[in-house]
Amino acid sequence: MTRQVIIEAVAQAGLTAERVREVASAHPAVLAHLETADADRLILGQAVALSRQPGERAPFRASVFDPVSNRGVELRGTVDRPERAEVLPSGYRPNPRPAELQAAAGILRADARFPAGDDVVVYQPMPPLADLENPDGTTVRRPTLGVYTPGEDVKHRIVAVDVTARTVDWSPAGVSVAMHPGDCESHLPVPVESLRDRGGPDAVRLRVVDDGVELWNLIVVRPRASAPQDPGDGSGVELREVRHRGRLVFRQAHVPILNVQYEEDGVTFRDWQNQETRFSATGTDPVGWGWRICDRAPKTILERPDNDAGNFQGVAFHDAGGELRIISEISAGWYRYVSEWRLADDGMVRPRFGFAGVRNPRTCMRHRHHVYWRFDFDVEGSDNDVIEQFDGTSDAPVGTTIVRETSRKRRPPARFWQVTDKSSGRGYRIVPGEHDNTADPYGISDLWFLRRRASELYDGNPDDDNRAMLDRFVDGESVNGTNVVVWYAGHFRHDQNAPHPHQGHVVGPDLVPVR
């Protein structure tokens, strides 16, 4: 019997970042609003087609941001005629890219106040930005950097760097949160100068073939290109067009929202999931850097002893005897997250998300992580879905059909939920994970059942407290016999004074095939 894990590079539909730059540089409304004539300095990403069946006339949305004026616009148009795109003002501010962080680090190291010593580490902290508002209402973009000095009493400082003016603010407003004088976490962070991306494809088609039978066929998007982005902060490892034994399971599955809230002072962060970081993986790279088929289980920060390094950055695959693991490690400031999917031969899908961090002055304070998966189920096609909630304590729980958009918490008597095709009865049962917990007031809820809308991929995050704004999508639409999307939240409380067993740092439900 032969078993194969096959990956092939695929292109994403839409416009490349360079094509967006060309459009923006030639669009007078873009340059006028941003008050710039230098298109080379603009920060932008790919404009991914929004249509479920992307073609030349597919709509797209792209963010264009000028770090000097600290202003942005959004382009809305069609792929075939991007030069005719509508230009709208945008309040979205992208997080610093590696190149911007490296430029800021060079300015910081040249500052006369920078501490001496070869053991000083310049790393990315939280929050990622400490912008400054001028008296005239304009704002100055200022990426933040952490300075770790192990030989000093106060080991961590957070500074803000004005890259345009080449100045450093050693006591920036907006980051005056409680700081622990010592270290939290054991892993030493890698310096921002080492955050290199060696290229490689953004997406691959993955096939698992066992003895000539194709078990899985899907597209895997690496975190750096995952949706939503600009606006949005990525979603870790993203799965698209997922088929098991030829049948469509998901149109899309990913984690668009990731939040942190601290209990003692209420500080919150919206974490990004498009910055890949290194972990340990051995194997072959059939399509180039960033995609590795492993001959042994990879080791992320959850398994490594005391370092934040590794020999690989991207997405790793490991066939673990009847179950394929898809793994990546991502960073957001001093946080490290493990984004993982486990695909079993029998069709079970186990999404998993792990939580860790590197040495910093903050995470020794009690805090809660909230991770929100988005499952765009398309079993037997995009329409005619039915959602049921099963309640009870017996071996035969009672099912109730959910007919309107709503949210739910994982509380008795609820046992599990189910999304199936009305005609065939095929679908998936959503069984909560042992460590997924129940939402507190900041986490909002545990599940949302929504009618699929292309505009409801990014919650907009309109409030200062960064909480998930998924309730804004609940507007009473029917979900009975329609195309549905399920959001599922996992919640992890991190308290170094009451450590969890290792598995407590990993959350996620089991998605069990029905019929």
HEC string of 85-142?
CEEEEECCCCCCCHHHHHHHHHHHHCCCCCCCCCCCEEECCCCCECCEECCCCCEECC
State the DSSP code for 503.
Answer: G
Residues for the chain: how many in total?
515
- 477 contacts 438 by C-beta, under 8 angstroms: no
pLDDT of amino acid 56: 67
What token pair was written down for 221? Answer: 């998007």
In terms of C-beta density within 10 A (0-12 exposed, 13-18 middle, 19 or more buried), how is residue 239 classed?
buried
State the DSSP code for 84.
Answer: G
Per-residue exposure over 285-296, b if at least 16 CB sit within 10 Å of its own CB, e if not: eebeebbbbbee
Q: What are phi and psi of 109, to 5 degrees?
A: -65, -25
Give the span between the Cα atoms of 299 and 336, in whole angstroms.
13
What token pair was written down for 35? Answer: 């008050």
Q: Which helix (H) or strand (E) holds 31?
A: helix 28-34
Give the span between the Cα atoms of 488 and 450, in whole angstroms.
11
Mean pLDDT per 10-residue interval, the chain, length 515 residues: 92 85 91 87 81 72 92 92 92 91 97 94 95 94 95 90 97 71 82 85 97 97 92 94 95 97 92 95 96 96 80 96 96 96 98 94 91 94 90 87 96 93 95 95 97 88 83 95 96 80 78 95
Residue 169: beta bridge partners? 160
- 348 contacts 221 by C-beta, under 8 angstroms: no
Q: What are phi and psi of 342, to 5 degrees?
A: -120, 115
Give the span between the Cα atoms of 449 and 437, in whole angstroms.
19
Chain centroid offset of residue 471 CA: 20
pLDDT of amino acid 54: 60
In the block, tokens 């304590």 appear at 393
- 255 contacts 332 by C-beta, under 8 angstroms: no
pLDDT of amino acid 15: 84
Nearest one of 63, 55, 119 to 87, comparing CA atoms? 63
Question: Cβ contacts of residue 120 below 8 Å, gap of 6+?
Answer: 114, 147, 148, 149
In the block, tokens 């695929």 appear at 10
Q: What are phi and psi of 434, to 5 degrees?
A: -60, -30
- Is the whole-model pTM more than 0.85? yes
Residue 317: beta bridge partners? 293, 326
Nearest one of 290, 314, 310 to 300, comparing CA atoms? 310
